[in-house]
Amino acid sequence: MAIVQLQGQVRDRRGKGPARESRRQGKVPAVIYGKGEETLPISVDLKELVTVMKGHAGSNVIIDLKVMGQEATERKALIRALQRDPLSGQITHIDLQHISMTQLITVEVPVHVTGIAIGVKDFGGILEFVMRSVSVECLPTNIPDAITVDITRLGIHDSIHVADLELENAKILHEPSQVIVTVVPPTVEKAPVAAEEGAAAVAEPEVIGKKKEEGEEGAAEAKPGEKKDDKKKEKK
């Protein structure tokens, strides 16, 4: 696990106004907390923070934080929460947890897959993730960047379970039977039966219309009160 340097400064003022001002100056508002410690509001340089996030494993990178203006200021920390602007995606706030390098901690570790499942490649199945990360307990120095599993052998209805994950010097905090990823059968489209029934139903009124026309012709041949002889006279 990488350990990176990051400097911070104590924030004397709190609230939305000072936080916006800090962001305009290229700083990111933050807090650092720990067991039995008071929460300390600080700010860190945005460019330095972005470098930390891009060049390492993100939230599980160990930060060697040096807070300016305090005695005994160096402390190890993990990023526990991170907020971004919904439009720009820029980091707007972070929560840091002060940790001890000799005490167990719990972190979320992403699960990555490698290979193409047989059930997907040869039978048209769909790879479905049930869990994209797992909770892991370990010492800070043993935090894995990610857990990688080979899914090549998976056929239709086959799965990778927690028990199949290999991890040294760390404990996965989930039931061994918990499914991580599985291959489900391809979706089968049903024939449009309803549409065919609807088309048959449309043909019914045509038959009724013919009967109606026949009835109208019969009425024309023998109207009430009219004799056949009168019709012959009209023809002459």
pLDDT in tens, 193-223: 655 555 555 555 555 554 444 444 444 444 5
Query: Which residues pair with residue 138 across a beta bridge?
Result: 105
Q: How far apart are CA 69 and CA 43, in angstroms?
A: 12
Kindly state whether residues 95 and 7 are assigned to the same domain. Answer: yes
Q: How far apart are CA 137 and CA 145, in angstroms?
A: 13
Cβ(137)–Cβ(104) below 8 Å: yes
CATH code for position 139: 2.170.120.20
DSSP state of 190: P
Q: Is the per-residue pLDDT at 51 higher than 80?
A: yes
Q: Is the per-residue pLDDT at 60 higher than 70?
A: yes
Last residue of a domain, one of 77, 99, 121: 99
pTM of the predicted model as reported, rounded to 2 decimal places: 0.70
Cβ(186)–Cβ(126) below 8 Å: yes
Question: Poorest-confidence range of 32-36, 163-167, 211-215?
Answer: 211-215
Q: How far apart are CA 191 and CA 232, in angstroms?
A: 61
Query: Which residues pair with residue 93 across a beta bridge?
Result: 83
Q: How far apart are CA 123 and CA 117, in angstroms?
A: 10
Give the mean pLDDT of 77-89: 91
3-state SS class at 228: helix
pLDDT at 71: 59
CA angle at 28 for the pair 23 and 29, rounded to the nearest 5°: 100
Domain count, the chain: 2
Q: For residue 68, tell me if it sits in a domain.
A: yes
Give the mean pLDDT of 172-192: 89
Tokens (6 digits) for 110: 């992403």
φ, ψ of residue 94 to 5 degrees: the values are -140, 150
Q: Give the pLDDT band of residue 58 (cuts 50, 70, 90).
A: low
Last residue of a domain, one of 184, 203, 227: 184
| Residue in 112, 135, 7 with CA at minimum distance from that of residue 60 | 135
Range of the domain at 136: 106-184
Q: Mean of the per-residue pLDDT values for the chain? A: 81
Tokens (6 digits) for 183: 């291959």
Kindly state whether residues 39 and 112 are assigned to the same domain. Answer: no
Give the mean pLDDT of 26-38: 91
Q: For residue 154, tell me if it sits in a domain.
A: yes
Question: Poorest-confidence range of 118-132, 191-205, 215-229?
Answer: 215-229
17 or 115, which is more confident: 115
